Structures are given as C-alpha cells and as structure tokens.
C-alpha cells in the first residue's frame, strides 16, 4: 500500500469512494431524499475538488496497484472551538476506507499520517466527530489516544444524528 497526496485528478474517485463508504456504513439510517441530498452536498466531485485545492486542507490517499483503498482529510482549523482544550486545534475528517478493504491496515496507515501531519503543522489538538452508535470506530480512535470530550450532533437532511466529539491533545 502506498500513501500519496490527492490531486485534482482524484476528485471523481474520492467522491465515489466517499459516497460508497458512507452508504455502506450508514445508508440504512436515512430516508432516500435525506441521504441523496446529503451525498450531493458532501460527497460531490465539485465539493471534493474544492477541498483538494484548499490550502487549509490536507487530503491523503491510500492506494494499492493504482486502486484507491481509502483516504483521510485534515482541516487545518478547529471544527468545534467551544470544546478546544489546546491552541492550534485541527479537525480530522472523513477517514474512510473502501467497504471491501476494511481491516487491511488502511485506517491505521492514514491515522499515522494524520497524527504526523498534525504534529508537523504544530497542532496542539486534533478533533474528530464519530457516530454515537459506531463502537468499532470509537475503539479505533481510542487506540490512538482519542477520548470523548463532548456530545454533538450531525445533520443528514432532516435527521439529527447523535455524535461524539473525540479529541487528542498532542
């Protein structure tokens, strides 16, 4: 497996993988209109292309033999300043793997990159949002020293999902 920085040419593949991963894990939770509208806004090719071009974001891909297996986004700004416990807080966003590639060390490689990148940026804390009924992801983040710091929510259309804010002070 190789890690590399996303380029504008990767936008379509990232949008597809983001959509596929979200639907595989959470699609059953939503009415079709809410899900379709959410995906059109959050995982469109145009949105992903804008994120790749944004100097305040870092997007890393995991590939094997040219096949996209996963990705991770870092927003070099604080997503939840009211819960910040340190200075220079950044957000880890969308650490996703292809549904068929889960359990192959992709998430670990991307998390290692994210923490190294955060430290190099001089971040004092990394925050992330995790679905409250996703114990596997919560356990994964806890292995890296993240802990729950707040109850938050995440909207998908008209549906409010209860989420946990996890954070790690570096």
Of 133, 135, 114, nearest in space to 71 by CA:
114
Instruction: Report the pLDDT value the prediction gives residue 103, as an integer from 0 to 100.
Output: 87
Q: What's the mean per-residue pLDDT of the chain?
A: 95
- Domains of the chain, by residue range, sit at 2-169
Q: Which fold has domain 2-169?
A: Aminopeptidase (3.40.630)
Instruction: Report the pLDDT value the prediction gives residue 135, as an integer from 0 to 100.
Output: 95
Residue 49 has pLDDT above 90, yes or no: yes
Query: What is the percent of the chain with per-residue pLDDT over 90, rounded to a whole number?
Result: 94
pLDDT tens, position by position, 5-19: 999 999 999 999 999
Host H or E run for residue 71: strand 67-75
Instruction: Report the pLDDT value the prediction gives residue 101, as an integer from 0 to 100.
Output: 87
pLDDT tens, position by position, 133-156: 999 999 999 999 999 999 999 999
- Other beta carbons less than 10 A from residue 60's beta carbon: 19
Of 9, 19, 113, nearest in space to 58 by CA:
113
Assign 102 a pLDDT band (cuts: 50, 70, 90): confident
């Amino acid at each position: 497996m190789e890690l590399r920085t996303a380029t504008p040419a990767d936008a379509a593949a990232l949008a597809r993988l983001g959509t596929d991963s979200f639907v595989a894990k959470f699609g059953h939770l939503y009415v079709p209109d809410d899900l379709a509208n959410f995906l059109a806004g959050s995982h469109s090719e145009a949105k992903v292309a804008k994120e790749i071009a944004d100097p305040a974001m870092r997007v890393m891909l995991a590939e094997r033999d040219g096949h996209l297996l996963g990705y991770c986004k870092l927003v070099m700004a604080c997503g939840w300043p009211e819960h910040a416990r340190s200075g220079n807080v950044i957000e880890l966003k969308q650490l996703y793997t292809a549904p068929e590639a889960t359990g192959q060390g992709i998430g670990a490689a991307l998390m290692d990159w994210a923490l190294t990148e955060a430290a190099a940026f001089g971040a004092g804390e990394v925050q992330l949002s995790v679905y409250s009924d996703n114990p596997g992801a919560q356990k994964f983040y806890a292995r890296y020293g993240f802990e729950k710091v707040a109850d938050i929510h995440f909207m998908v259309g008209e549906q409010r999902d209860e989420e946990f804010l996890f954070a790690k002070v570096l």
